[in-house]
Structure 1
Amino acid sequence: MNIEQLGLFGVFLAGAIPWFEAIAVVPAGILFGLDPVLTVIAAATGNIITIAVFAYGGNAIRSWIIRRRVSKGKDSESPKLIKAQQAFDKYGIYGMAVLGPILIGTQFAAAASVAAGVKPLKVAVLISAAMVIWAVAIAWLMVALGVSVFEAGVTSD
């Protein structure tokens, strides 16, 4: 495995971590000289996997959090869950898809959308598509501006 492959694997893993998001990982990968197209693919793939997990597990995750909070004597709704639900109520599924990456993160946008009653497949497709559009737009902008810290393919002789 060469250094670029390791970098792309790191981008894939970071894209899967909530709050890192593909839209944050793509610029980092490009800054370090990774191929922009491969960087978008790796970051988006990692992010899409966790979006699907949160979309299909949204109700179970929400129920588990509520049970855990109640067993500790706290209110059933956590402040983060309330914020996610308020964002869904204000913006709906399409707003969550577009604004989720910058408001609460794609994974939490997916879980909140499913908890609000949207079908998991619709949530996963819409939020994933919006995230890919964000990632491609950011990559395109960085390439257009020529932003890079390290150039790919540089070797020492």
Structure 2
Amino acid sequence: MNFIDALQDFVLGLPEAVQFLGVALAAMVPFVENYGAVVIGSIAGIPIWATVAMAIIGNVAVIALITLIAGRTRDAVLARKTQPDDTGQADTDRRQRVRRLFDRYGIPGVTLLGMLLVPTHFIAVTLVSFGCSRTGVIVWHAIAITIYAVLTGALMVGLFSLTGA
């Protein structure tokens, strides 16, 4: 059994009245996120509108929390830093890729395009480490998460109508 099956079993194992909360919890998991949670909830038989809403709420909540924690951590590190960093350590390839995207497209482009490539959790922390506005990071993540969840919900509705499920 893979991780997605385990999450789906978790959601289905909950009482029907609170299965939508399982969708929100699934949306908090990196790589599952809003679109995976929409699929899981839809297959579990939860109404699409409730699945989309809970996936958005769960994913935005964890991104907001991660963004605020990363911001406070960055503030603490910068406050303690007394001299420039001369360690000579190169950025990771992923961070350099995100930085190039950021330099070219800003927060909106990185959040909207980056979600196709890496988890939103990583994008949020990286943008904060660049010194981006925490509010801007949270707002643009909320926009991107909503777009992707609604699109995934629409795809699931289309798939269900094609298959007659």
Give TM class, smaller chain. 0.7 to 0.9
Alpha carbons of structure 1 residues 131 and 9: separation in structure 2 relative to 1, 3 Å:
same
Task: Tell me the amino acid that sits aligned with residue 42 of structure 1.
Answer: M
What aligned pairs does 1:63-74 form with structure 2 within 5 A after superposition? 63=77
TM-score (norm 2): 0.71
Q: CA deviation at 1:77?
A: 4.1
Other-structure match for 2:121: 107
**Structure 2: distance between partners of 1:87 and 1:6:** 39
Correspondence 1:41 to 2:50: no
The aligned residue for residue 145 of structure 2 is: 131
1:147 is displaced (CA, Å) by: 6.0
Distance 1:40 1:23 in 2: 8
1:9 and 2:16 matched:
no
Q: Unaligned stretches of 5+ in structure 1?
A: 64-72, 152-157
Q: Quote the residue 2:134 is aligned against.
A: 120
CA contact (8 A) 2:71 2:134 kept: no
Cα distance in 2 for residues equivalent to 1:11 and 1:80: 29
- Residues 93 and 123 of structure 1 are in contact (CA less than 8 Å); yes or no, is this contact kept in structure 2? yes
1:96 corresponds to which residue?
A: 110
- Percent of residue pairs identical: 30
Conserved 8 A contact 2:98-2:110: no
Within 2, Cα distance between the matches of 1:50 and 1:80?
21
Greater RCO between the two (CA within 8 Å, min separation 6)?
Answer: 1
